A and B are shown apart, each in its own frame.
Chain A
Amino acid sequence: MTIPARFTEPADTTVEAPPKAKRKAAVRREVGRSIPRLESHAKVDGSAEYIYHLRLPGMLQGKICRSTVPHGRIVRIDASAALAIEGVHAVITGEDIRTLIPDPYYGPAFHDQPILAIGKVRYVGEPVAVVLAADLHVAEEAADQVVVEYEPLEPVFDEVAATKPGAPIIHDSLRPAGMFPDLQYLKGRSGTNVALDARVLHGDVEKGFAEADQVFENVFRSRKVVHATFEPTVSLAELNGSNGLTIHTSSQSPSYVRAEVSRLLGWPENRVRVRTAFLGGSFGAKLYIKLEALVAACALLVRKPVRIGLTMEEEFYTITKHGATVRIKTGMAKDGRIVAREVETWWNGGAYADIGPRVSQKSGFTAAGPYDIENVSLINYAVYTNDPPAGALRGFGISQIVWAYECQNDIIARSLGIDPLEFRRRNILHDGRPHATGTIMTNAEIDEVLDRLSDRMHWDVLFDHGSGPVRRGRGLAIGFKACIAPTTSVAVVNVYGDGSCCVSCSTVDMGQGSDTAMAQIAAETLGISTETVRVIHPDTDVTPYDMATLGSRSTYHMGNAVRLAAEDARAQLLRIAAATLQTDIEELEYRDGAVISRSGARMTMRGLMLARFGMQAGTVIGMGTFTPPYTKPDPRTGQSPQITPYWMLAGAAAEIEVDTETGRIRVTKLVNVGDVGCAINPAIAKRQLNGAGTMQLGFTLFEEMRFNEGQVINASLADYKIPGMLDVPEDLSAELVEFPHEHGPFGAKGVGETGMFSVSPAIANALCDAIGVRIMELPLTPERVLRAIRESENRPLESE
């Protein structure tokens, strides 16, 4: 494990300027520059690589035949009609997979998900068989002809109902995966749908309620939504030599895929090569194993390359965001201080755990909010249901939790007659104070986030709520997330004979701009221009291990690894020069492909190579490994002195118009403020905030998976409504709070998810400000708004 060197240089913005002499050394040329993304041209001219477009010679296409029942035993699979269709190469079932992989169950938390259903199905849309054909249309036609007979079992869909005694049990027994250190506490279980109940106990919550002047209790819900990435999930597998396998996949976690596919096959990891390209969005949909194990097994069974690319509809059957029911109870003192908070959350994880237990535990321990509360009790249930599996979606459960506590905080503030902004100020968890997990808050600029929101919203200026049918309102919310821990990133920086360099890392550029950020960090460290750095895309034969591109961890973790690798390469070059020039290494600086000494001596790359290799060619390889410290929480109390490497603080504020006759909300202004430590690329960081804000706007106003007995009924982009350009608020803005994090690369923290956290409650709070109506379930559709208005007027819609 490498402990990061303390970052000592000042950032170039927002912090006080250092004395001039020091400042010169710290002038940044690359970090902090809003350079356009390195791949922009390639994306516009169509030359950027996406796996969805990849075709391999002799390839077969697979079409998945999916379960039509939410819970049932497979009585019979009859593929004869499908096999009779001309052009069908094979029909693969779970039993066929077993001939290759005797125990074909995978998953990052539990080994609960079969590559293809075996004996039983647990949700509508679960893969039961795969038809392989050279022609995708033939495969599609044949997939319809695979006859599967089921003996239906009673299903359960509601996450609270699934925990009650007598609920149908979805998995007979559960086997923990044991791969990730933060999930080591998962236990084998049977006879329950609760995969995990994670607790955080801080102070004495019962005593807190007893002493409180007033207690508030509410239940908030959010429905399942999907990632709706524009490049659907796709994987291809091909044999590699006599005993190897190459998987090309739209994955956020190539290193994990290599490890998990190797484990399934019983192979050493070096026989499995996993490579990715640009991803057309991911947002958590393309993590862990999705199609990779299936294409790997198919390719090995038929000894031909196999591709499976999902349709947009199939995305809805593959992975979703957790629906959640959050019961939140808060004890208040007369002076507007929160004295006790109890949050109980049921996470609807669907039929397979995927990463749900981590979502439940990691988001769950922040469920009291970024507030200083003496007595806290947090309980999180990761629950199996017969819905499609739920996993990570940009924020890892945080937005479901913030939805609850920030709506309730507004309810309380209004009830106590305290301005919502002031209410939050009074209760903020300041640096130096313990969070409910016992970890002391550091580098968490929540005060500043609130100040910026207040400024941007002109919060102290009287607000015109309008008159007539269209009313106006404004609202704000804050939220936070603890970055995932412990995780490791490894990077290699390769400096070639001409001074140009490549960064090899397994961070996946899925639209967030990581290639550019990593190039900027390497360029800054090596004193070269970002545009000349090339970032090699993940290929597990080439690029070193990375935990995954998720949870806003790449800039901090991989950024540090790249910085360390570049420093390592630079140090090697300086050592070569120091030996040649017979001078002290401190006298030397590496910049623009040459070493310059204080005395004015200069060694070009050519000279360095000659000195090292005896000719003008060679390579200098720097390596960096970064694993921030972490202490496992006590499983009974959730207490840990070091639960996270950094906190991501965020706030959003909205102005809305609501038509009280149609129930339609229009967000006219949306401000998203994120505490990013230091922006490696401010323009990209702001776009991350605005992009996330717009995505969450969709989850707030429009998006909701609808089900009929477990069958998704709006699995298309016509019926499942993501926001369009016209739905983007006219006044949409993002603001970066930049106080360098002491261990971040150049002070940076993650930002990919930050803009999601607070948008929904900010809008719901604005709705309440506009018309006094409180809605506790997302999304805020015209139907729900009208219904709530009519209920508040004691004229329920049902009287129509």
Chain B
Amino acid sequence: MKAFANKNATSIREAVSLLAQHPGKALPIAAGSDLLGEMKDGIETPEVLVNLKTIPGLDKIRQQSGAVSIGPLVPVAEVAESQLLHTHFPAFVEAAAVIASPQIRNVGTVGGNLCQRPRCWYYRGPFRCLRKGGEFCYAPMGENRYHAILGGGPSFIVHPSDLAPALIALDAKARISGSSGDRTIPLEQFFVLPTVNVQRENILRPDEILTEILIPLPAPGTRSTYWKQMERDAWDFALVSVAAAIRQRDGKVEQARIVMGGVAPIPWRSHEAEAALIGRPLDATTAAQAGDKAMEPAQPLRDNAYKVALSRAIIRGALLRLI
């Protein structure tokens, strides 16, 4: 790991101004469970780390009118154990509970989970790939069993976050603070496809940090769940995951948000699957159709066609949990 300077920020304002002072050379750090690994592997070589953990107040879960506010420094384990969150947002809690290992959940933060970098082995390994400023993405011609089946090109990474699909399914918003001010956007718009930016997974500018997640309280009748399919049962990233939030009225689906993890360079919202459900009863037939529709645009690579079959199965399975 390259030597670096650590700066403890005491406020959001100080953090973003420190980042702005070292353009391209500073990175924000929370728990560091992802960033430190990247630094050890020489993927990121910041000269300055701006420590966000020293900013007071960013580690709170607060109930507000019509929404719950989640500080980005809330540990994942706290989400997994929160009764308040479990009451309103089962998908969020279920997603938190299956992240990594107990140690990582204890230190890892909500913000860090949303901002984590891809697990692609070309990105993590000694390859100068597109995402690291290289000429091309190794995945299409290489070992691509874990890569994107949707939204891929020119980079075929998949977004590794478990919390992101759940929070997008729950219509969460993100507040971003930077040296030029704050903005609040739907979390769905936080993530960007490689066609927009091939080197980043989100819209954060170098002097910006995520400062709050707001989840609106769901309308009555809303149910949500998160299904993560892993190769092994502990400490694994999703092969495919799905978060589904469904509101039914009079035996028909009134609103549906279906967001997948592990299939695309961003948390992948399937409008096709949602459309297949709206106005119809949620049952085995419509759940299977939603899975089929979600996979219509899929374009698997040489080794990852199984993820198409897997996605269909777990979309159906997740929806059946919500009947």
- List of A residues within 8 angstroms of B138 by Cβ: 708
The answer to whether B306 touches A663, judged by C-beta atoms less than 8 angstroms apart, is: yes
- List of B residues within 8 angstroms of A724 by Cβ: 101, 232-235
Q: Shortest beta-carbon distance, A32 to chain B, in Å?
A: 36
Whether A418 is near chain B, meaning CB under 8 Å from some CB there, is no
Interface residues of B in 211-240 (CB under 8 A from A): 229, 231-236, 239
Whether B150 is near chain A, meaning CB under 8 Å from some CB there, is no
The answer to whether B125 touches A715, judged by C-beta atoms less than 8 angstroms apart, is: yes
Q: Shortest beta-carbon distance, A800 to chain B, in Å?
A: 4
- Select from chain B the residue with minimum beta-carbon distance to A702: B232
- Select from chain B the residue with minimum beta-carbon distance to A787: B306
The answer to whether B229 touches A782, judged by C-beta atoms less than 8 angstroms apart, is: yes
Instruction: Tell me the bound Cα distance from A565 to B232 in angstroms.
Output: 48
A711 with B126: in contact, given A144-B42, A706-B143, A783-B306 (CB under 8 Å)?
yes
The answer to whether B2 touches A726, judged by C-beta atoms less than 8 angstroms apart, is: no
Chain B contact residues: over half helix, strand or loop, or mixed? loop
The answer to whether A708 touches B122, judged by C-beta atoms less than 8 angstroms apart, is: yes
Instruction: Tell me the bound Cα distance from A706 to B146 in angstroms.
Output: 12
The answer to whether B125 touches A726, judged by C-beta atoms less than 8 angstroms apart, is: no
Whether B298 is near chain A, meaning CB under 8 Å from some CB there, is yes
The answer to whether A797 touches B308, judged by C-beta atoms less than 8 angstroms apart, is: yes
The answer to whether A797 touches B305, judged by C-beta atoms less than 8 angstroms apart, is: yes
- List of A residues within 8 angstroms of B127 by Cβ: 708, 711
Whether B303 is near chain A, meaning CB under 8 Å from some CB there, is yes
The answer to whether B305 touches A800, judged by C-beta atoms less than 8 angstroms apart, is: yes
The answer to whether B142 touches A708, judged by C-beta atoms less than 8 angstroms apart, is: yes
Interface residues of A in 723-750 (CB under 8 A from B): 723-727
- List of B residues within 8 angstroms of A798 by Cβ: 305
- Select from chain A the residue with minimum beta-carbon distance to B309: A786
The answer to whether A140 touches B314, judged by C-beta atoms less than 8 angstroms apart, is: no
Interface size class of A (residues with CB under 8 A): 35 or more
Chain B 117-145: CB-based contact to A (< 8 A → 1; otherwise 0): 00101101111000000000010001101
- List of B residues within 8 angstroms of A783 by Cβ: 145, 303-304, 306
Total interface residues in chain B, CB < 8 Å: 38
The answer to whether A723 touches B310, judged by C-beta atoms less than 8 angstroms apart, is: no
The answer to whether A790 touches B309, judged by C-beta atoms less than 8 angstroms apart, is: yes
- List of B residues within 8 angstroms of A701 by Cβ: 231-232
Whether B90 is near chain A, meaning CB under 8 Å from some CB there, is no
Instruction: Return the contact of A782 from the options B37, B231, B233, B300 (Cβ within 8 A).
Output: B231
The answer to whether B309 touches A800, judged by C-beta atoms less than 8 angstroms apart, is: yes
Q: Shortest beta-carbon distance, B33 to chain A, in Å?
A: 11
- List of A residues within 8 angstroms of B119 by Cβ: 718-719
A661 with B317: in contact, given A137-B3, A782-B306, A797-B306 (CB under 8 Å)?
yes
The answer to whether B125 touches A711, judged by C-beta atoms less than 8 angstroms apart, is: yes
Chain A contact residues: over half helix, strand or loop, or mixed? loop
- List of A residues within 8 angstroms of B234 by Cβ: 724-727
The answer to whether B310 touches A706, judged by C-beta atoms less than 8 angstroms apart, is: no
Chain A 648-669: CB-based contact to B (< 8 A → 1; otherwise 0): 0000000000000111100000
- List of A residues within 8 angstroms of B308 by Cβ: 797, 800
Q: Shortest beta-carbon distance, B233 to chain A, in Å?
A: 4
Instruction: Return the contact of A713 from the options B143, B236, B304, B317 (Cβ within 8 A).
Output: B143
Whether B313 is near chain A, meaning CB under 8 Å from some CB there, is yes
- List of B residues within 8 angstroms of A662 by Cβ: 229, 310, 313-314
Whether B1 is near chain A, meaning CB under 8 Å from some CB there, is yes
- Select from chain B the residue with minimum beta-carbon distance to A138: B3
- List of B residues within 8 angstroms of A711 by Cβ: 125-127
- Select from chain A the residue with minimum beta-carbon distance to B299: A800
Whether A500 is near chain B, meaning CB under 8 Å from some CB there, is no
Chain B 36-53: CB-based contact to A (< 8 A → 1; otherwise 0): 010000100000000000
- List of B residues within 8 angstroms of A726 by Cβ: 232-234
Q: Shortest beta-carbon distance, A147 to chain B, in Å?
A: 15
- List of A residues within 8 angstroms of B295 by Cβ: 800
- List of B residues within 8 angstroms of A702 by Cβ: 231-232
Chain B 2-32: CB-based contact to A (< 8 A → 1; otherwise 0): 1100000000000000000000000000000
- List of B residues within 8 angstroms of A725 by Cβ: 234
Chain B 285-313: CB-based contact to A (< 8 A → 1; otherwise 0): 00000000001001010011110111001
Whether A781 is near chain B, meaning CB under 8 Å from some CB there, is yes
Interface centre among A141, A661, A718, A800 (most CB of B within 10 A): A800
- List of B residues within 8 angstroms of A786 by Cβ: 306, 309-310
Chain A 771-800: CB-based contact to B (< 8 A → 1; otherwise 0): 000000000011100110010000001101
- Select from chain B the residue with minimum beta-carbon distance to A664: B229
Instruction: Tell me the bound Cα distance from A714 to B126 in angstroms.
Output: 11
Q: Shortest beta-carbon distance, B228 to chain A, in Å?
A: 11
- Select from chain B the residue with minimum beta-carbon distance to A796: B305
The answer to whether A713 touches B232, judged by C-beta atoms less than 8 angstroms apart, is: no
Instruction: Tell me the bound Cα distance from A141 to B3 in angstroms.
Output: 9
- List of A residues within 8 angstroms of B42 by Cβ: 144
Q: Shortest beta-carbon distance, A296 to chain B, in Å?
A: 28
Chain A 519-542: CB-based contact to B (< 8 A → 1; otherwise 0): 000000000000000000000000
Instruction: Tell me the bound Cα distance from A140 to B310 in angstroms.
Output: 42
- Select from chain B the residue with minimum beta-carbon distance to A783: B306
Instruction: Tell me the bound Cα distance from A721 to B237 in angstroms.
Output: 11
- Select from chain A the residue with minimum beta-carbon distance to B229: A662
- List of A residues within 8 angstroms of B305 by Cβ: 797-798, 800
Instruction: Tell me the bound Cα distance from A719 to B118 in angstroms.
Output: 12
- Hey, which bits of chain A sit against chain B, CB under 8 A? 68, 137, 140-141, 144, 469, 661-664, 701-702, 706-708, 711, 713-716, 718-719, 721, 723-727, 781-783, 786-787, 790, 797-798, 800
User: What 3 A-B pairs are tightest by C-beta distance, nearest first?
Assistant: A724-B234, A661-B313, A726-B233
29 A/B residue pairs, CB under 8 Å, sorted by A: A68-B126, A144-B42, A469-B313, A661-B310, A662-B310, A662-B314, A663-B310, A664-B229, A701-B232, A706-B121, A708-B122, A708-B127, A708-B138, A708-B143, A714-B121, A718-B37, A719-B121, A724-B233, A726-B232, A727-B233, A727-B234, A782-B306, A782-B310, A783-B303, A783-B304, A786-B309, A786-B310, A797-B308, A800-B300
Known: A661-B317, A727-B233. 12 other contacts (CB 8 A): A68-B126, A661-B314, A701-B232, A708-B143, A711-B126, A718-B37, A724-B234, A724-B235, A726-B233, A782-B239, A783-B145, A800-B308
